[in-house]
Amino acid sequence: MGTYISDRIRILVVRRAEHHCEYCQLHEEDSFLGFQVDHIISIKHGGKTDENNLAWSCFACNNNKGSDVGTVLLPDTRFVRLFNPRQDKWEEHFELIECVFYAKSDVGEATIKVLKLNDVERIMERQALL
């Protein structure tokens, strides 16, 4: 299976996510930019184009994530994988308090870092939506 995503799979991904970004939880109606189907594990790293490796993602999360599957957390320079919406429970890795994301785990910390969930612009966007 290549990178083509059929209408059936795209609809399944959107409905499963209930029209929310599976990383930052933004609802697609609250975004000026279109949402995208994201390969959780990118094709570059051996990920497949099937429903178990696809997530519904806002433009910012998908653009910041790119083909990354993890990052190095300092100061001990250990590699930590990113949040996987097909395997992980959002509430176990993140907490959102007054528009700021807080990590509950190393996976949460890595994901907040790579997806830039707490960049000033993203926090301001969440505040404006309130």
- Say if 20 falls within a structural domain: yes
Q: Which two tokens stand for residue 3?
A: 């990178």
- Say if 1 falls within a structural domain: no
Give the three-class secondary structure for 16: helix
- Say if 37 falls within a structural domain: yes
Per-residue burial over 28-54, b if 16 or more Cβ lie within 10 Å, else e, is beeeeeebbbbbbbeeeeebebeeebb
- Say if 2 falls within a structural domain: no
64 pLDDT more than 70: yes
Task: Check: CB of residue 38 under 8 Å from CB of residue 14.
Answer: no
Q: Which domain holds residue 49?
A: 7-129
Q: Which two tokens stand for residue 108?
A: 């949460």
- Say if 95 falls within a structural domain: yes
| Phi–psi pair at 64, nearest 5 degrees | -70, -35
- Say if 101 falls within a structural domain: yes
Q: How many domains does the chain have?
A: 1
81-113 pLDDT tens trace: 999 999 999 999 999 999 999 999 999 999 999
Query: Tell me, what amino acid is at 11?
Result: I
- Say if 47 falls within a structural domain: yes
Task: Check: CB of residue 123 under 8 Å from CB of residue 96.
Answer: no
pTM of the model: 0.94
pLDDT of residue 2: 60
| Phi–psi pair at 126, nearest 5 degrees | -65, -40
Mean pLDDT of the 55-76 span:
96
